[in-house]
Amino acid sequence: MSHYEQYIGKVFDERYRIDAVLGVGGMAAVLYAFDLKEQQKVAVKMLREEISDDKQAVRQFITESKAVAMLDHPNVVKILDVVIREETKYIVMSYIEGETLRSYMDRVGVLPLNKTIDILLQILDALDHAHSKGVVHRDIKPQNILMLKNGKVVVTDFGIAKIADSDTVSDDKTIGTVYYISPEQAEGAAIDHRSDIYSLGAMLFEMITGKLPFNADSTVAIALKQINEPTPSPRDHVPTIPVGMEQIVRYAMEKAPENRFQTALQMKAYVEELQRDPFAEFAIAPADQYRIAQEEAKKAKKKKEQEELQALADKKEQEKQRKKESEEEVIRIKGDSWSPIPVMLGILMAFVLVLTVAGFYAVKNVFWDSDLNVFKDNSGENVIIGDFVGKPFTDADQAHLTEDLGYHKVTVSYEYSEVVATGLVISQDPVAGQVRKLNAVELKIVVSLGSNAVENTLPDYTMADYRVIGAKLADRGYKVELVPVESSALESALILKTEPAAGSKVYDGMTVRIYYSASPKATTVVYNFPEFEGMSETDAAYYVDTHELNLISVKYEYSDTVEKGKVIFSSVSKGPKPKLTPLSLVVSLGVDPDTIPVPPSTGDQIEPSADITA
């Protein structure tokens, strides 16, 4: 801590005077300071100098500040300022005088029921606010809960992605302290707000028993227990714990997220019920209660919609009835002073109308539509577009459509296709079955040139390192899928077989599946890869860096269809794969400058960029 004591007495940015060092963690030092501008006490969290040049650490530091900046709640620490510069990086937060829940538990021991519930409800309020903003804490533990003298509870360190230390597992999305992390965090699977609920359940277990739910000699062993072992009974440690409280712990610590409390508000409702009645027992599990509530909400919504539709139908029927009654009233009034003149005029007008229509059809059929009409344009008749897709299309077919059938224009283009044979139509516009005027039809036909892929023979890679071969195949344009096979007899990472088999004909873009040996434990370590294609290079690099993926290579190619700086191709498809799957990316350089036409007025030549990595 002596290193940071050199800052005592100094003023950061002519505003924050450092008065003391509060503590030093794995990622940052927390300093006690005084804001000279606002005349208030503040806490300054400064990134440790030895990791301030670490891009990942800086990103994590910024992530925390962004996450907390989104939140505004009395039970969440308030962020006041963020300073990120080359020489120094720090966050300024409200200074909270109190002790951590960890310190309080160490001092007091097992917490009384009423105190536990009071702390729990305030934490749930904070989590509900954070989750509503899309922020998942990921590291709920007693060290991150501050208790003020007035009884207020404040949750700190929102959004932080901790650097691994003796108590922390950090594997893909696994971020948090191992004693409290959820099974999905321990497995490196995707996490959401329900992971916070599990961690809160684990912390609650310790609050009411004075014991950790899972403990072992190593962090790995503890993580495996979080994944595989059922939650122990709190009442086995402290028999006087109410049954309802034990149920709340078990519901929060269900292994599958879908079986836990689904929201912080739902868990809060159970806790409040226990606060009203300490002897309460819950007959319905929260997952079932949540499902029933959702179904009832859907039924209520459907009923409301039906009622609204019925009300609309009733309103229309009433309007129809009023209109009918109004018409009957008019007829009744007219009937009192009836005269034959309107009737005679109506009959006369109907007679004239009939003669006019009959005359029109006579002229049309006898003259206009007959062959005597020299002005008739038969090319304006309707024609149904034929179906050409999947059929041969030649120059003779094109001539037949234009010269014999009278199509206005037929355009033929050619493209390579991996699925449509040479000479057959890939697509047409307009599509078959549409109706067009013959003299206005402009038909576009795309004909296949066949496959443009280069044929190769897949070598025999048996017993080679799958990581090396996978990277090579990806660089050659193949899509690689890796399948681990448990084997205790073979060394890990050796290729057992491929699909297609060795000696098979393969083409660019084909998928090659590699089966390789892996230890039984290694086969359980998988990572849910995202869809890299379409990501910006910056986002992809950040994702790979922060999740410690096995990026083998990044190539750059020109593209007419993909925006500059976006990923065109990823060697690993979206979905669960082994964590160390070799990953190769191809990034777009945008349109090839050599293909851009030179303006005729200047005569200047457009040269390709010298720096193709720009």
Residues labelled as active-site residues: 139
Handedness of CA 368, 372, 374, 376 (dihedral sign): positive
For the chain, first and last CA: distance in Å?
Answer: 43
Beta bridge partners of 486: 518
Handedness of CA 112, 118, 119, 120 (dihedral sign): positive
CA-based R_g, the chain, Å: 37
Would you state the structure tokens that stand for residue 57, as one six-digit string? 């650490």
DSSP state of 610: S
Beta carbons within 8 Å of 388's beta carbon, 6+ residues apart: 425, 428, 432, 445
Sole residue written with tokens 């720096």: 611
CB-CB contact of 21 with 4 (8 Å): yes
CA distance 422 to 420: 7
CB-CB contact of 281 with 243 (8 Å): yes
DSSP state of 465: B
Per residue, the 3-state secondary structure of 533-545, as one string, reads: CCCEHHHHHHHHH
Largest CA distance in the chain: 116
Would you state the structure tokens that stand for residue 459, as one six-digit string? 């070598």
Contacts by 186-191 with C-beta closer than 8 Å and gap 24+?
A: 186/223, 186/224, 186/226, 186/227, 187/227, 187/524, 187/525, 187/526, 188/525, 188/526, 188/527, 188/579, 189/526, 189/528, 190/528, 191/136, 191/138
Would you state the structure tokens that stand for residue 85, as one six-digit string? 């510069």
CA distance 347 to 343: 6
Would you state the structure tokens that stand for residue 21, as one six-digit string? 């060092």
Neighbours of 576 (CB within 10 A): 12
CB-CB contact of 234 with 246 (8 Å): yes
What is the number of alpha carbons within 13 Å of residue 169 lying toward its C-beta?
24
Query: If DSSP codes are grouped into helix, strand and coil, which group holds residue 186?
Result: helix
* DSSP secondary structure string for all residues of 260-302: S-SSHHHHHHHHHHHHH-TT---SS-HHHHHHHHHHHHHHHHH
DSSP state of 116: H
Neighbours of 512 (CB within 10 A): 21
Neighbours of 530 (CB within 10 A): 17
- Which run of H or E residues covers position 31? strand 28-35
